[in-house]
């Protein structure tokens, strides 16, 4: 498999496009590719193309798109992951794994038990890093789609969009919060879109659980065990993809 590069302008055959700075540096300094070498480029919106390296200079790298290439197949269901922002770099891991598993949109959340200052959540550097993590994961996993990472929102703002949609909120087992586990979705007709909402390390507040229930969300669990917050999205998404025949 040729090396893959994220080039947002590379959406069709017959183009001569300049690689973004980071991708150009990787091609030139790390991989040491030369004019004439074959590569793959994808635009992050589903287009993947075979390309030939045209020019490599200290100022720019340009490639010529040649023909349509096949990227990894996208899930049949469009998935939004809404995840409470976690401490340290755990949220980076969530973005990496969610991208790898086929999520289309990621909504960072500020919740009652989110232990991160709002200034840190809204930091341009953090959001830029999240974008780089998503691109890197798409490159590694063979996807031609890079998930849209939205600006952080409060739980209340997020849950207000739930009415009329299939929206599940994962809760801890026990405590009477949920009446079913995630595998009950296997008995439903295949949806076009689903939103999966996952809480922080400290779980949901009682008020947030009530808000989600009143908004018509399905409160579901992953079974009898309490998982670490950063492990929940991987387990949930993997199970959903399995139920839908996408694994």
Residue 178, pLDDT score: 61
For position 193, what pLDDT does the model report?
A: 94
pLDDT tens digit string along 134-162? 999 999 999 999 999 999 999 999 999 87
C-beta separation of 205 from 233 below 8 A: no
Which of the four CATH numbers 3.30.1330.10, 3.40.1710.10, 2.40.240.20, 3.40.50.150 does domain 4-68 have? 2.40.240.20
What is the spatial distance between Cα 206 and Cα 180, in angstroms, rounded to a whole number?
Answer: 18
Query: Model's pTM, two decimal places?
Result: 0.91
- The pLDDT tens digits of the residues spanning 75-99 come to 999 999 999 999 888 999 999 999 9
Residue 177: the pLDDT is 64
pLDDT of residue 37: 98
Token pair, residue 168, equals 């599940």
Instruction: Specify the pairing of strand 153-154 against strand 105-110.
Output: parallel
Rounded Cα–Cα distance for residues 170 and 35 (Å): 50
Could you give the maximum distance between any two Cα atoms of the chain, in Å?
Answer: 63
The CATH class given to the 78-243 domain equals alpha beta
CA distance linking residue 134 with residue 142, whole number of Å: 12
The low-confidence residues of the chain, meaning pLDDT below 50, are none
- The rounded distance, in Å, linking the Cα atoms of 171 and 197 is 9
Where along the chain do its domains lie? 4-68, 78-243
DSSP letters for the chain: ---EEE-TT--STT-EEEPPHHHHHIIIIIS---TT-EEEEE-BBS-EEEEEEEEE-SS-EEEEEEEE---PPPPSSEEEEEEEPPSTTHHHHHHHHHHHTT-SEEEEEE-TT--S-HHHHT-HHHHHHHHHHHHHHHHHHT-SB--EEPPPEEHHHHHTT-TTS-EEEE--SSTTS-SEEGGGGGGSPPPSEEEEEE--TT---HHHHHHHHHTT-EEEESSSSPPPTTTHHHHHHHHHHHHTT--
pLDDT at 205 (0 to 100): 93
Number of residues assigned to the chain? 247
């Amino acid at each position: 498999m040729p090396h893959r590069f994220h080039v947002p302008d590379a959406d069709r055959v017959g183009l001569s496009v300049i690689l973004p700075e980071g991708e150009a540096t990787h091609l030139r300094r790390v991989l040491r590719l030369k004019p004439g070498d074959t590569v793959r480029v994808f635009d992050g919106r589903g287009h993947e193309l075979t390309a030939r390296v045209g020019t490599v200079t200290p100022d720019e790298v340009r490639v010529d798109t040649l023909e349509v290439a096949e990227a990894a197949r996208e899930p049949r269901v469009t998935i939004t992951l809404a995840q409470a922002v976690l401490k340290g770099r755990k949220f980076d891991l969530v973005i990496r794994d969610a991208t790898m598993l086929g999520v289309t949109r990621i909504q960072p959340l500020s919740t009652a038990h989110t232990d991160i200052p709002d200034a840190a959540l809204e930091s341009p550097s953090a959001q830029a890093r999240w974008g780089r993590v998503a691109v890197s994961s798409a490159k590694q996993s063979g996807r031609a789609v890079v998930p849209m990472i939205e600006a952080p929102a409060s739980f209340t703002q997020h849950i207000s969009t739930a009415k009329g949609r299939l929206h599940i909120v994962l809760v801890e087992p026990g405590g009477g919060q949920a009446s079913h586990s995630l595998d009950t979705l296997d008995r439903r007709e295949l949806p076009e879109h689903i939103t999966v909402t996952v809480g922080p390390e400290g779980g949901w507040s009682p008020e947030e659980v009530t808000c989600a229930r009143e908004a018509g969300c399905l409160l579901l669990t992953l079974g009898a065990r309490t998982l670490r917050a950063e492990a929940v999205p991987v387990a949930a998404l993997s199970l959903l993809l399995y139920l839908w025949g996408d694994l």
